[in-house]
Each structure stands twice: as C-alpha cells, then as structure tokens.
Amino acid sequence: MKRIIFALTQILIVIAARVDAQTAPIFVKGELSATNNHTGKIWLNELSMPDSTFNYSVAQAVYDKSAKLDWHIHPAGQILMVTEGEGYYQEKGQPAKVIHKGDVVKCPPGVAHWHGSTPGSTFTYVAVTPAQKGKTIWLQRVTDDEYKNAKNK
C-alpha cells in the first residue's frame, strides 16, 4: 500500500509540474512603468527594439486589474496579440470591444484609441509597433465614464 501511495504521489508531482509549465508566462513581466500616460499598474518588457534591419519594436505589456493606457495614436499603427486575461480596446468614435487571450487587434495608423484591463482580470499582450513614422502620440486620460461605458459592453 505504501508503494502505491508513493507511486501516486510521484505521478501527481509530475502532472503538477507539467500544468505549471503550461501556465508559466512566456516572457518575464518587465519593469513597472513610471511614465505619466496610464492609470493603474502596467509592466513593460521591451523584447526587441528597432534597428537598421527591423524597423519596428516588439514589447510585452502586463496590466494589473483596471489599469489602462491614455488615449493615444500610433502614426504607423500597431498590432496587439493578447496572451493572457481580458481587456478593452476602443477606437475614438467607436464602441469599446472586450478582448481576450488569443485575440489579435490591429490598431490602424493615425487612429486615436486606448486599451486596458477589465476590473476583474489582469491583461497581457505582445505589441508590434512600426517605428518608421514616429513615436506614440499621447492624448488625454480615459475618463471614468469612458471606462464605465466599456465595462457595460
């Protein structure tokens, strides 16, 4: 009986290790952002910076619950690949969309938008941002009403 219990314990340890490896983050969380272009806690990990061969950046952003970026514009657009959690994405003049792990969002060039996590979930994505037309243009904060309206979608 002791051998059976020992064998079952070993099997459970192996299964737990495999499950943990499958849910482990792909990249490290990064540095807590100290910029004044968001509300809440957001960590950023610059995975690849533009260079003479690849003129775009690749970064991971990890949002605490209810964290959100201010309205902003990417002159050359941006692609977000959601890897964890649930968030919001809204373009100026359009209703907010709820986005989830596995979603890919194309932020059009020159279009004001914001993205952030929902109140009940953290939110992580990998962003690909072309650099040839300039840096992100930061606009006003997302208002409490805009965020509440996103929650009601």
- Digit-coded pLDDT (tens) for 102-148: 999 999 999 999 999 999 999 999 999 998 777 899 999 998 888 88
- Helix (H) or strand (E) run with residue 20 in it: helix 2-23
Backbone angles phi, psi at 90, to 5 degrees: -140, 130
What are the structural domains, with CATH classification, of the chain? 28-151 (2.60.120.10)
pLDDT confidence bin for 15, thresholds 50/70/90 = low
Residue environment code for 56-94, b if the CB has 16+ CB neighbours within 10 A, otherwise e: bbbbbbbbebbbbbbbbbbbbbbbbbbbbbbbbbbbeee
Task: Report the C-alpha gap between 60 and 82 in whole angstroms.
Answer: 10
pTM, two decimals, is 0.80
